[in-house]
Amino acid sequence: MINKPLQSSPFVRKPIQTKTLMFWVILCLLPGLAVQSYFFGIGTLSQVLLAGLTAVIAEALVLILRKRPIFATLADNSALVTGMLLGLALPAYAPWWIAVIGTSFAILVVKHLYGGLGHNIFNPAMAAYVLLLVSFPVTMTSWMPPQSLLSESLSSLDGLNLIFSGFTIDGFSLNQIASVDGHTLATPLDEMKTQLSLGYTSSEISQSPTFGFLAGVGWQWINLAYLAGGLALIYLKVIRWHIPVAFLSTLLLLSVAAAIISPDHNTPVLVQLFSGATMLGAFFILTDPVSAATSNRGRLIYASLVAVLVFVIRNYGGYPDAVAFSVLLSNMAVPMIDHFTKPRVYGYGEGSKHDQ
């Protein structure tokens, strides 16, 4: 007989209302949004506002069609969180229609086609991100370098013109203004991956002006801001520690092992942890209460699986940052993870009369 932990009643619970939970998520996203906007300008804030507005409008239209209460449902803030997460994941100066198409898909298809909040099997923001990445790969991988690396700062008016017309006031395109010593429109993870494939060592690549003391210039501070916001979520008990700790620990262990085996031909550990969507994913994306595993043991397995996929795709796949793909693949495994990790209820275990 295999001994399994027993859980018996009575249970004492103090549930957090959805609108309260989402409110705290939004609040804890603000430090990351502020830092990201500081390094990438008004583009980041514009993408978040566009995606958030589109999410609310799309949600309202679906609720009208489904004859559901509009204002009461919108008040749960779930649509707004989806829009914010997608907006933060988009390149700061992507065309306006990118945010509109992606957010509409997230709300109309990924969320409501499955029955609405609580029924979707995929993370809506990440499903929309993958749709956009597959459909518009050049646009979705065209990241402006942090403003501190630009020879001339980009004004807010120029940034808005880029988003809504494709050109600055003086008629320059994104490709023309985003050049730093020959490195254009690439994230630190993208540059590291590309240069490693060309035979350069990680030490040589790290000498590029796009890299700072931890990871990429700008990106290291952005990830630290999301780390701070995520720790606040744990402190407030909005999320549990299992998913962030399992994800970051697994990614750390794999990165350290790769660095020990071949330090000059693998992405440095700190670059893995503090670049791209690592911290945003760990605390705000993987912890989605609907599409993630439900038991504590299941959460550990789920987050570890995401970390393994992120490491494999970043190092051996075609995409430099793999959080979105890894989350969606792991979402498909959640039903099986839940099946084998659900807690045993007292009176229904092995050897009870109910099993005879």
What percent of the chain has pLDDT above 90?
Answer: 59
Residue with tokens 């595993």: 293
Question: Is residue 6 helix, strand or coil?
Answer: strand
Q: How far is CA 321 from CA 69, 80, 253, in A?
A: 39, 24, 18
C-alpha span between 260 and 146 (Å, rounded): 31
Choice among 168-182, 234-248, 291-305 with the minimum mean pLDDT: 168-182
**Is pLDDT above 70 for 355?**
no
pLDDT for 185 equals 67
pTM above 0.75, yes or no: yes
pLDDT for 348 equals 55
Say how many C-beta atoms besides its own lie within 10 A of residue 208's C-beta.
Answer: 18
Nearest to 286 by CA among 256, 321, 244: 244
pLDDT in tens, 123-157: 999 999 999 999 999 899 888 888 877 767 788 89
**Is pLDDT above 50 for 178?**
yes
Say if strands 179-180 and 183-184 run parallel, antiparallel, or are unpaired: antiparallel
C-alpha span between 212 and 10 (Å, rounded): 53
8 Å CB contact between 99 and 57: no
Q: How confident is the model at residue 353 (pLDDT cuts 50, 70, 90)?
A: very low
> Mind giving me the DSSP string for 256-267?
HHHHHH-GGGS-
8 Å CB contact between 196 and 267: yes
Q: What's the chain's average pLDDT?
A: 87
Question: Is residue 7 helix, strand or coil?
Answer: strand
C-alpha span between 305 and 255 (Å, rounded): 15
Q: How far is CA 54 from CA 17, 58, 73, 338, in A?
A: 24, 6, 16, 33
Choice among 82-86, 101-105, 344-348 with the minimum mean pLDDT: 344-348
pLDDT for 198 equals 85
Q: How far is CA 302 from CA 106, 247, 327, in A?
A: 22, 8, 9
